Structure 1
Amino acid sequence: MAVRLDGGASPDRRVRVQGEPVDSHPRPAPEAERGAVRRITVIGEEILRRRCRDVTKFGTPELSRLVDDMFATLHVAEGAGLAANQVDVDLRLFVWDCTDEWGVRHVGHIANPVLDEPPAAGRRLLEEGEGCLSVPGPYRTVPRPDHAVARGYDKDGKPLVIEGSGYFARCLEHETEHLHGRLYVDRLGRRERQATLREMAGSMDGVLARRAARAGARGKQF
């Protein structure tokens, strides 16, 4: 998921890592410092339309390396969240480093996420701008529930329950959809979807150049 246009930095005292409050957390996250930057897949590539496989092997160096690489890639792309199929890996896993509208920074990863069904009573949709790192450039207004609960596991197999409201809920919903082979443009009408893809075609080269420059500035290869 791409960072919203009005997204800002949160004070470190307002940070939740893996859903738990902490006094501070480095920016960029330590995983981003350790990881290598990978190419981000773009709409039209088959892997983005495939339902991803469950993570079955936890606590492995390979899974830890993938999480690190995804954080590094997310950081140079200036995104809020990134799913594994966006770095061409067919696994149900995503990472996030996302600041919500209350100034709280959320950082973490989750494997095999399942979203709770929102209760009909009190369910509220927010219509706000949304972008995607695999649809470089455009933002569109997309209605989504204003609250989300994701249940899954961390990279070591520990059960996780991650709860979010507002923009962070949107991030959890957006990234979980990726793992089912869906993108935010699927929620648009035909004409708006076509206009979005035309806009992407005109802006993609510039977006990718900025990502490469940001990676180079951090001593990483994009």
Structure 2
Amino acid sequence: MTVREIRLYGDPVLRTPCAEITEIDDGTRALVTDLLDTVKLPGRAGVAAPQIGVGLRAFSYNVDGDIGYILNPRIVEVRGEAEPTGEGCLSVPNLWHDARRHPYARAEGIDLDGKKLVLEGTGLFAQMLQHETDHLDGMVYLQRLDKETRREAMKQVRESSWF
């Protein structure tokens, strides 16, 4: 079991859009194993590859006991008005703010066999799909906050012991 260290806000890997996975090899399989091992710790709904220092489009999830992964995911559908939803991030520890998320999301990607994989859901699962896909696009949830909340969140980041 390899639980990887989580990269923290300010690390350039978190602000860089990830590359597509073009070859499923031993490195890709090891990445998926590390993502799954890392997301299984308590309190984790998802871990994206850049959060463990890898600039590839992959993430793992652990929502209500449903654990899995997806490679090269893209959000292909959202439904409902985006609404403020309480959200935190392993890369921004100890902060919790309302980010605007759609109540339903559907993502498509592939599995380790190269077969199409569809993940969809509502509530926390939809939020996780949007949050983790944002990571793969070089975005941290702080960028989804309204202007005033973001200003306060950035102040909290600057004053934190980990930054």
Q: Same fold by TM-score, threshold 0.5 exceeded?
A: yes
Quote the residue 1:48 is aligned against: 14
Q: Structure 2 residue aligned with 1:67, among 32, 45, 48?
A: 32
Aligned residues of 1:36 and 1:69 also touching (Cα < 8 A) = yes
SS of corresponding position for 1:79: coil
CA distance in 2, matches of 1:168, 1:36: 24
- Higher Rg: 1
Gaps of 5+ in 1: 1-34, 100-104, 206-222
- The runs of at least 4 aligned residues of structure 1 exceeding 6 Å deviation read none
Structure 2 letter corresponding to 1:116 = V
Quote the residue 2:87 is aligned against: 130
Q: Structure 1 residue aligned with 2:101, among 117, 121, 144?
A: 144
- Greater strand percent: which structure? 2
Quote the residue 2:23 is aligned against: 57
CA distance in 2, matches of 1:56, 1:163: 23
Does 2:69 align with 1:109?
yes
CA distance in 2, matches of 1:77, 1:92: 23
Gaps of 5+ in 2: none
SS of corresponding position for 1:76: coil
Q: Percent identity?
A: 38
Does 2:50 align with 1:85?
yes
CA distance in 2, matches of 1:50, 1:203: 23
TM-score normalised by length of structure 2: 0.89
Aligned residues: 162
Q: Provide the alpha-carbon RMSD of the alignment.
A: 1.9
Deviations 1:47-98 (A, max 9, x none): 111110001111x222222111112222336310010000000100000001
Shift of 1:39: 1.4
CA distance in 1, matches of 2:149, 2:100: 14
Change (3 A) 1:143 1:189: closer
